[in-house]
Structure 1
Amino acid sequence: MRTDTSPGVLPSREHLPAAWREVPVLDVVIPVYNEEKDLRPCVLRLRDHLSRTFPYPFRVTVADNASTDRTPHIAAELAASVREVRHVRLDQKGRGRALRAVWSASDAPVLAYMDVDLSTDLNALLPLVAPLISGHSDLAIGSRLARSSRVVRGPKRELISRAYNLILRGSLHARFSDAQCGFKAIRGDVARVLLPLVEDTGWFFDTELLVLAERAGLRIHEVPVDWVDDPESTVHLVRTATDDLKGVWRVGRALAVGALPLDRLARPFGDDPRDRELTGVPGGLARQLVGFCVVGALSTLFYLLLYSGFRTFTGSQAANALALLVSAVANTAANRRLTFGVRGRDRAMRHQAQGLVVFGIGLALTSGSLAALDAASGSPAHSTELAVLIAANLAATVLRFLLLRAWVFPDRAAVTATPSYDMTPHTPDPRNAR
């Protein structure tokens, strides 16, 4: 649907398509697992807010992910007593599984979801869905990383969030700023096309959906949000981060080998240029760059986690050397197999030895950066050390790729294809002489 309204202005109800007048225009899904304490007040607060501010019929759907406490009972009571609330019970856990199930079955033209703790200020809900109703955007996400956003959360969650989104930009070339904010919306017709293509059923569901949408040429609208961290959140950070990194690896590898089902998507604005082979570069370089970025991003995060762990019982230089050594071995092995396609054990030890030389270069750069930082500021904060180390690692990345491609894993097919010349003396056949 196209209208002449601006993205932030909603069309009047009589200007909505006829089919939209028979169903709730907006279906807000709240995935929950064992939320007996917060469920009732949060659902009622959301319902009251929508009643005051949303000019069309709406629905609030509680998607229960196999809760084992009183959550299903409370959700059923809300559905029985509040006209705009319904309850869906799933037998398996998984936020992505819940969203796929409810969104796929919903008759609403605009679908949204938010976390049950309502960490995001509800005043951002109307700006989130307005461009989808007016037809100016296909998806909308709340962003805690926008300049005008106001966010209250601890440094640990802040670092993890920014590191994760940095990984997405470096490895998957994502343009959206905040993949994991629990505050998103999508048009129903777009959801019916994208949902069957999303594999993840957990927390990576959001990221995979957004990557597919970007590659399909769909329009993603971002809304700055005010967000306050819930100190009693039950999200397991380590397990969630691990699952997300596995998802990044899977999608990044699929992009590198051209395995994403992008040909099944209708591309309203043409092919995404990131899906094309780069022009003017040697064959295979584009895919190698994607693979190298994915491996490098994951290796950098692995290195930072190791460094933080080693730093608790040793000095910065020793922690840096140990973290680099362990991550360098893993990085070489991953690049050997996934980036440059080398299989088997042949020359594996040689490749690791050459990889350690590359590691030595990284060690020199990062150790030199730490030494310069110590000399300049005496006892720098841990966050400052991490920032300097990230910058030093980024500086070594380009050189590392060139060394891996030209020296450690050269293109042997190209070498084999180089014509050879016979350098032995040749005596002409006297019978050919005139």
Structure 2
Amino acid sequence: MTTDSLRSGPLADGSRERGGGLPLREHLPAGPDPAACGVPVLDVAVPVFNEEEDLRPCVLRLHEHLSRTFPYAFRITVADNASTDSTPAVAAALASELRGVRYVRLEEKGRGRALRTVWSGSDAPVLAYMDVDLSTDLNALLPLVAPLISGHSDLAIGSRLSRSSRVVRGPRREFVSRAYNLILRSSLAAGFSDAQCGFKAIRREVAERLLPMVEDSGWFFDTELLVLAERAGLRIHEVPVDWVDDPDSTVRIVRTAVEDLKGVWRVGRALAVGALPLDRLARPFGDDPRDRALAGVPCGLARQLVGFCVVGVLSTLFYLLLYSLLRLGIGPQAANGGALLVSAVANTAANRRLTFGVRGRAGAVRHQAQGLVVFAIGLVLTSGSLAALGAASGSPSHGTELAVLITANLAATVLRFLLLRAWVFPARACHDPEDVR
């Protein structure tokens, strides 16, 4: 089989044609006997390069394990990365001998390229891969893919750095692995524990959206895939594994480390400038329970309150900075008025995008006009409170003025949020995201 014969079909619910978000995660139905099933539930890719000695025992062992323990139909795909030894002949022989084994030949090297090719062409709803040396105990395979089959998670990875993992490897590889994952945590804010373990799985509909965004075709492919998935809000399940280092591994640690660091820089820069279209994967599947319209629970209220508070703090700091700059050239009243006006416009724009999720230019001018009205109401409330205090007390103390201002500003802030939510950005934007994007 060649790469030209591999094609990825549309999603079952047609979401590819719609170009929208990912479909709902659903528990995959239990299939018939693997021997009688045409479409497997699981497709395990084994990327190889010049593995003529290890390939046959690896595939035989994996096939026997899956036949004995896996309750669904499966397939094993040997992805040959332009091997120059007898690996192609061994792989072809295995594909002809064993049911559920196929062989794909690539004329270019690269583990990421091999995985992209076989995953893009697979019809299985769950896709996985493992290294040919089978360093990871196969008993972790079912726990790895079970959350994907059940619909609980989007990706799954084996972790050698979990407390309950049992790992046998030399100090050099141990240091490199931990240092690399520390770099990922500090530079890309990665939350997963082990990016390099050759034991991962992904749901096909997720792979169809993520793979076009992944640029790397080598060893950094795994890391880039995981970072993008995590930044997009996808759910990554980690499985502790038992892992024994392969002393005959052909991986060049120094060269791989350098390429990985280049990949970290590239992905970090792309994320910093917003060059990746992760918004198409944000809020994946539409099955977030916080999106459900429940009786008596306003849609998204908690998140809107948090966003409103964050925007309020930032706009206040912006106002103080702007007032200080304007005060250098004009009087206090003019500086205060100018700073309040500009910060109010910025506050409305930030709340429009971040708090209430309204995107695009449609209605922006109207929203700004309504925001200024809301701002004026709050200004009248605070100024009126001070005026009422002066009329009632004559010459109130500074402490009394501060207490009245704090109380008035709290009331104005609550009123501002309620008016923004009910009048400027009504709740329909929360229930119908297609209207605001």
User: What TM-score do you get using the length of structure 2 for normalisation?
Assistant: 0.60
- Residues 418 and 96 of structure 1: CA distance in aligned 2, closer, same or farther (over 3 Å): farther
In the alignment, the residues of structure 2 paired with residue 97 and residue 27 of structure 1 have an alpha-carbon distance, to the nearest angstrom, of: 17
2:223 is aligned to 207
1:166 is aligned to 182
In the alignment, the residues of structure 2 paired with residue 154 and residue 46 of structure 1 have an alpha-carbon distance, to the nearest angstrom, of: 25
2:53 is aligned to 37
User: For 1:295-353, what per-residue CA distance to the aligned partner results, in whole angstroms no more than 9, with x for missing partners?
Assistant: xxxxxxxxxxxxxxxxxxxxxxxxxxxxxxxxxxxxxxxxxxxxxxxxxxxxxxxxxxx
User: For 1:81-137, what per-residue CA distance to the aligned partner results, in whole angstroms no more than 9, with x for missing partners?
Assistant: 111111000010000000000000000010000000000000000000011111111
User: For 1:237-294, what per-residue CA distance to the aligned partner results, in whole angstroms no more than 9, with x for missing partners?
Assistant: 00100000000000111111111221332532599x9xx9x865699xxxxxxxxxxx
From 166, 185, 188, give the equivalent of 1:150. 166
In the alignment, the residues of structure 1 paired with residue 116 and residue 262 of structure 2 have an alpha-carbon distance, to the nearest angstrom, of: 20
1:245 is aligned to 261
Unaligned 5+ segments in structure 2 are 1-23, 292-299, 317-321, 331-437
Correspondence list, 1:377-392, <5 A = none
In the alignment, the residues of structure 1 paired with residue 326 and residue 132 of structure 2 have an alpha-carbon distance, to the nearest angstrom, of: 63
Q: Sequence identity of aligned pairs in percent?
A: 76
Look up the SS of the partner of 1:221 in the other structure: strand
1:182 is aligned to 198
In the alignment, the residues of structure 1 paired with residue 79 and residue 25 of structure 2 have an alpha-carbon distance, to the nearest angstrom, of: 31
Correspondence list, 1:385-424, <5 A = none
From 26, 30, 41, give the equivalent of 1:25. 41
- Residues 73 and 13 of structure 1: CA distance in aligned 2, closer, same or farther (over 3 Å): closer
In the alignment, the residues of structure 2 paired with residue 151 and residue 217 of structure 1 have an alpha-carbon distance, to the nearest angstrom, of: 30
From 119, 127, 137, give the equivalent of 1:103. 119
Letter of the 1:31 counterpart: P
User: For 1:128-154, what per-residue CA distance to the aligned partner results, in whole angstroms no more than 9, with x for missing partners?
Assistant: 001111111110000000000000001
1:91 is aligned to 107
- Residues 418 and 30 of structure 1: CA distance in aligned 2, closer, same or farther (over 3 Å): farther
2:49–2:81 contact (8 Å) kept in structure 1? yes
In the alignment, the residues of structure 2 paired with residue 157 and residue 31 of structure 1 have an alpha-carbon distance, to the nearest angstrom, of: 21
From 124, 134, 146, give the equivalent of 1:118. 134
User: For 1:19-43, what per-residue CA distance to the aligned partner results, in whole angstroms no more than 9, with x for missing partners?
Assistant: x964111000000000011000011
Letter of the 1:237 counterpart: I
In the alignment, the residues of structure 1 paired with residue 201 and residue 315 of structure 2 have an alpha-carbon distance, to the nearest angstrom, of: 41
In the alignment, the residues of structure 1 paired with residue 134 and residue 240 of structure 2 have an alpha-carbon distance, to the nearest angstrom, of: 15
Q: Shift in Å at residue 13 of structure 1?
A: 3.7
In the alignment, the residues of structure 1 paired with residue 115 and residue 80 of structure 2 have an alpha-carbon distance, to the nearest angstrom, of: 10
In the alignment, the residues of structure 2 paired with residue 252 and residue 282 of structure 1 have an alpha-carbon distance, to the nearest angstrom, of: 27
Q: How many residues align?
A: 284
In the alignment, the residues of structure 2 paired with residue 237 and residue 121 of structure 1 have an alpha-carbon distance, to the nearest angstrom, of: 23
Correspondence list, 1:163-312, <5 A = 163-268=179-284, 269=288, 280=313
Unaligned 5+ segments in structure 1 are 15-19, 284-413, 423-434
Letter of the 1:138 counterpart: D
Look up the SS of the partner of 1:93 in the other structure: coil
In the alignment, the residues of structure 1 paired with residue 314 and residue 266 of structure 2 have an alpha-carbon distance, to the nearest angstrom, of: 25
Q: Shift in Å at residue 12 of structure 1?
A: 4.2
2:62 is aligned to 46
In the alignment, the residues of structure 2 paired with residue 207 and residue 264 of structure 1 have an alpha-carbon distance, to the nearest angstrom, of: 20
Highest Rg: 1 or 2? Answer: 2
CA RMSD of aligned residues (A): 3.2
Look up the SS of the partner of 1:177 in the other structure: coil
From 41, 55, 59, give the equivalent of 2:75. 59
Moved more, 86-95 or 248-257: 248-257
In the alignment, the residues of structure 2 paired with residue 173 and residue 48 of structure 1 have an alpha-carbon distance, to the nearest angstrom, of: 39
- Residues 93 and 418 of structure 1: CA distance in aligned 2, closer, same or farther (over 3 Å): farther
1:429 is aligned to none
- Residues 163 and 262 of structure 1: CA distance in aligned 2, closer, same or farther (over 3 Å): same
In the alignment, the residues of structure 1 paired with residue 117 and residue 193 of structure 2 have an alpha-carbon distance, to the nearest angstrom, of: 26
In the alignment, the residues of structure 2 paired with residue 203 and residue 135 of structure 1 have an alpha-carbon distance, to the nearest angstrom, of: 28
